[in-house]
A and B are shown apart, each in its own frame.
Chain A
Amino acid sequence: EDQVTQSPEALRLQEGESSSLNCSYTVSGLRGLFWYRQDPGKGPEFLFTLYSAGEEKEKERLKATLTKKESFLHITAPKPEDSATYLCAVQAGGGSNYKLTFGKGTLLTVNP
């Protein structure tokens, strides 16, 4: 069964203090790894898709990287508006089951 483990569960940073969130996964044939952002009371919002080891994607202060076992979401010089829960999800290749398996998320709080 596909599994996604995110760490830490919660992370508190000062504004401008860079850090990384981790997403470890086990999946039978990775079709894609996805990062979403979820604000309180809202649905997840798509950030990135990574397809193969070594791939990197960037958006503003966020950079996602992928290895064969894990993905990192690097946050450079975060601002208070980056505070949210960041969700990682994997999609297995093959067959007709196209479901995403989500991790529990990392709650990021950026203090001014």
Chain B
Amino acid sequence: DTAVSQTPKYLVTQMGNDKSIKCEQNLGHDTMYWYKQDSKKFLKIMFSYNNKELIINETVPNRFSPKSPDKAHLNLHINSLELGDSAVYFCASSPWTGSGEKLFFGSGTQLSVL
């Protein structure tokens, strides 16, 4: 069983469209994250949820809206996509807030905005 699974693996879309990425973890973790890895390979945190509560919200355009229906799921919805949104988006989970260690990452969603 995949511990952290995200879909889709690839997402190609036009500027201005709205798209969503889904993430699910079956590890029983309390905390989930969205990270963005840009073309320069820097991995930067976007959001973190602990038991469905938003605890980290970095400087991310409000076109990006995370939603956590339960602690096993964290979805990312992006409105009005722009060229600069093209990147690989990783979902991750960890046992408890602030542990840092042993983040379990999904395999990523490569978003290409044309």
Contact = CB atoms under 8 A, between A and B. Distances in A.
Interface stretch (A16-24, A75-83, A100-108): A100-108
A105 B41 contact: yes
A99 B48 contact: yes
A112 interface: no
A55 B67 CA distance: 39
B100 A98 contact: yes
A100 B98 CA distance: 9
Kindly state the interface size class of chain B when it binds its partner: 20 to 34
A72 interface: no
A45 interface: yes
Interface stretch (B14-22, B69-77, B79-87, B102-110): B102-110
A46 B103 contact: yes
Interface of B: 4, 40-45, 48, 55-56, 58, 90, 92, 97-108
